[in-house]
Every structure is written in structure tokens, then in C-alpha cells.
A and B are shown apart, each in its own frame.
Chain A
């Protein structure tokens, strides 16, 4: 919060340097215009801070609840944002009664697996579709386009049956495989490779590079931007996923974080302090990742929109 300046500076581009007005209008009108600008900037900050509270308020309230001790009434009226005697006991208690560390690792396993699968297999398929000529390419591509719009929710019953027949129910591999590759990832990678310059490839080929080397050493590095998009999207989708893990995972020790938290909610519906502590623990790793990679996140989401 300390990053918000108390007296907002006037945007140098907007204020002052406006010869069109300054030249013809008398000084008092000029001053009025400047007043209006300052007010406009102040108004913007008021709105920004308002939205800030809407975005952050729910998190703050959750943190506050998680820090309240058992003797403090969490239903107090009026509610108290600052706990009377802050305690970390709820965090210890929730870690004690639930293997949240295991859930975090399970979620990380599925999410990282999804990132690797989508980036590697998506790029390999996209590369073949973009740079190689072979019989059946058009047909295969058409089949992918046709199934691009089919949401997982429509086929979840049959995905469950296949996973069961493969003996993967209640395994993390079963949680991973259906999200390990999407048609969309193949599409994004194909787009990236289509616009690759053939000369670079030819030069490498003359140097005696094989197909795999061409792909790995020439094509992949030049598609780094698209790879980042695919990585961020598959990570967010897998980390966020709830429906499929809920279907496929049975034992509490196999749960991903999302399923584990809902399980926690059912188990401790009496004590909101523990649920609050659990959700905060769940947010911290992914929030840290986002803050570390914020530029990539923003560029990824923005680019995906342009490409879509």
C-alpha cells in the first residue's frame, strides 16, 4: 500500500505543454484547465483505490480471519479487521490436520506436467504441421480444428471411463494426462512456426543438422514468446482445475490443492479460521510465481488475445 503516492503527480505529457490552449486563452482560464487536470488525476486515483479495495479486500478479510485466535469472535458485529491478538496457531493446526504440503506438491506435479506436455508435444506437433509436407496433413489439421471447440465438460464422462480402463483412477498420472496437451497449444505453436524464416532452416540443414536438431536448436529458440504463452496458460488452467481432479482422485493423500481445500471446507465447516488459513497457504506459492513473472503473465494473456 505504501507504493501509492499521497499527492499524485500530474502527468507531464498531459499537463502544461499544451500550446494550443495556452497561446489563445487568458491565464486564469489556463489555471482553471490545470485545476481540472489535477482533479482528473486525483479522481483516477480515487477510482483506482476503490477497485483496489474490491480486488484485495476479500483477501485481507481472509488473512484477518486466519489470524484470529479461538477466543476471538469471528462473527463479531461490527467485524474487526485487525485481530485482537494475532496468532499463527490456525496455520499450524491446518498443516497438522491436513497434508497441505502434499496437496501443494500434487498440484505442482500436475501443473508442471501440463506445462511440459503442452510446450513439448504441442511444439512438436505444431512444428510438423507447419514445416513438414506429408500425406494426411490437411485432414489431421481439419480434425483438430473440428475438436477445438469441444469443452472438457462435454466429454468428461467418457474421459473418466477411458482413465478407468487404463487403471489410472486415483493416480496423479490420471489427473495429469487429460490436461497434458490441448489442441489450442498445438495451434499456438503451429502459428509460431509458420512464420519462421526458411533461410535459417536451410542454413542449418546445409550444416548437416538433422530434423530433430532443426526443431530443437533452430525452431524452438525462435518461438520462445509463444512457448511462454503456452506455458502460462497451461499452468494457470491446471493449477485452477477442480472438476477433473474431483472426478479422478479418491484418496485424500492424492488430492490436488483445489480438491483438498474443498475437502477441508467440508471437514472443518465449524471453524472458518482454519479454512481461511488453508486458503492463504494455497494462494501464496502461485501469487509469488505471478509476482516474479508478472511481465510474462501480462504479455502472455495480451498476446493470446491478439492471436485468438
Chain B
């Protein structure tokens, strides 16, 4: 460390500090400040204390949106924690053509979420392909209104998210499975353990840290759901798929209520923080017993 001038580190840091300062740190401070104002894009605004918080408490659309996002998270997290693990085990077999299968399973990941939502929007129509296939194999008797039935629409949105996410988390699990020592499986087999027994006694305990990681990642992504709902339904029918970020977006950019939208953003942050804390506590307690 000889011969270095005092400002050398800051030269290396300068572009980052500039970008993070302008597009991360300042917005964080500004969001916090705006949350306590009634700022409006056109007429400006001033400090209003906790008025926004009071308004949130009595805003039934807000609670509807929060409920939709939480419901979505509750569907997506278990599905994207378990299904990709099973898929990873399937795709870890030393069989011919496995690279081909992995590439195909991953392909929905590289198609953007907008593309995934447009493709599924076409299939999820009442007269769409999915209803036809399900009717043909006898699962349903009459067309399901995937996108227009308020009690189903959030599940349909989740289906798209799960379809697009499967391959991504599969790759994470494949990396995790490779770290499990082979001789553990051989020892279990010697002891007469069948494939299911081996899964529960060897794979699950050793893959558990990865499962907690995937669970945390999926939860933090799911609570921010926007694109799928925006493209598939625009939040409809009758706000049945309006998610929290969608509602904040509409209040902020269509309603021009920057102050109120910022206050709701802070609530979103508290929810994210809460999920992070739950995940950490849970991971610490259960992941490495």
C-alpha cells in the first residue's frame, strides 16, 4: 500500500458513488420525506404529518392490494421452493440428453416476463388452449374463467410466475445437489434405503439450506409482483388481481399522488423487511440444525 495517494480509492469509487447516490440513496431519503407530504405532480404539496398513514388505514383498495400480493406470495413460495427441487433431482440423473432437457427447462427464464404473460394470456382465455387440454384429459367439465373469475385470477397470475421461475430455481438446486457427497447415497443404499427414503433422509436434510435460500428469494420477489398482473389483467376484474406495486404505480403515475404513493411504498418496504427478518430467523433456526 505504498505510494498510493489518499484520493486513489475515491477515484475508483467515484462512478459508483455518483450512480448510487443519485439513483438509490437520494431516492431513499426522498421517499421517506415524501411519505409525510401530500405532494401531487401538478399542484405540489406540503408536510401533512401522519395523514397518509391514516388514509392508508382506511383505504380499502390498499388493503385489497396488500391481500392480493400476500395471497400471491403464499401460493408462489411453496410452489417455487418444492417443484424446482423435484425437477432438479429429475434433471440430475446421469442419463443421455440431460443437457438438452436442462436447456429447455431453463428457456422460459430467458423469455422476459412480459413475453411469458402475453403467451399465457392467450392460453388462459376461456376459449384458450389450457381449457381445451384440461377438458380433454378430463380434469374439468366446462371452461374455467381463468382471468375473469375474481376468485381464480390471482392463481392464474401465480401460474405464470411459477412457469417462468421453475428453470431458474432448478439450476440453483442442481448446484446445491452437486455438493451432496455421493457416498452418503451409497451408504443409504447399502442400508437398504429406497429412492423415497433416500430423498427424505439424505437429500432433504442436506439441501435444506438451499431450500431456505430459494424460499427467501421467491418470497422477496413475489411480494413485489407487478408485471405479470399488469400484462395479464391490468389488475382486474374489479381489482381482484391488483397487487400492491400495481396500486402504488397507479396512485403515483396515473393518479399523480406522489406523496400518498410514497407512503404506501414505505409500507411495502416494511413488509419486505418483515419477510427478510422472518426468513433470517427461520433460516438460522431450521436450516442448519
Q: Which positions in A face B, CB cutoff 8 Å?
A: 3-5, 8-9, 11, 13-14, 20, 40-41, 44-45, 47-48, 51-52, 54-56, 58-59, 61-62, 65, 75, 77-79, 117, 120-122, 124-125, 127-129, 132-134, 137, 140, 143-144, 147, 149-151, 153-162, 166, 177-178, 180-181, 183, 186, 211, 215, 236, 239-240, 242-243, 247, 257-258, 261-262, 265, 272, 275-276, 279, 282-283, 286-287, 289-291, 294, 297-298, 301-303, 305-306, 308
Contact = CB atoms under 8 A, between A and B. Distances in A.
12 contacts: A51-B90, A55-B108, A59-B107, A59-B111, A61-B119, A79-B132, A149-B276, A154-B272, A158-B27, A257-B114, A287-B111, A301-B172
Given A124-B16, A177-B19, A242-B113, A8 B175 contact: no
A51 B84 CA distance: 11
A247 B27 CA distance: 15
A156 to B, nearest CB: 7
A155 B28 contact: yes
Interface size class of B (residues with CB under 8 A): 35 or more
Contacts, number: 267
Contacts of B249: 156, 243, 247
Contacts of A132: 1, 4, 8-9, 12
Contacts of B190: 20
A127 B224 CA distance: 32
Interface string B83-97: 000010011011111
B167 to A, nearest CB: 7
A53 to B, nearest CB: 10
A27 B242 CA distance: 64
A156 B265 contact: yes
Nearest to A275: B118
A241 to B, nearest CB: 8
B262 interface: yes
Interface stretch (B59-67, B120-128, B145-153): B120-128
B24 A55 contact: no
B34 interface: yes
Nearest to A123: B12
A125 B102 CA distance: 35
Interface residues of chain B: helix, strand, loop or mixed (majority): helix
Given A61-B122, A121-B15, A261-B114, A56 B23 contact: no
Contacts of B217: 308
Contacts of B200: none
A279 B118 contact: yes
Interface string B150-186: 0000000000000100111001101110000000000
Report the 8 A-B pairs with minimum CB-CB distance, sorted nearest first.
Answer: A302-B175, A158-B27, A125-B16, A128-B12, A155-B27, A158-B30, A305-B172, A258-B114
A156 B272 CA distance: 15
A62 to B, nearest CB: 5
Contacts of B16: 121-122, 124-125, 181, 186
Given A5-B97, A154-B265, A242-B227, A51 B122 contact: no
A243 to B, nearest CB: 5
Nearest to B244: A153
Given A8-B96, A155-B265, A156-B252, A128 B9 contact: yes
A295 to B, nearest CB: 9
B122 A65 contact: yes
Nearest to A9: B96
Nearest to B2: A205
Nearest to A179: B23
Interface string B18-62: 011011111110110010000000000000000000000000000
Contacts of A183: 20, 24
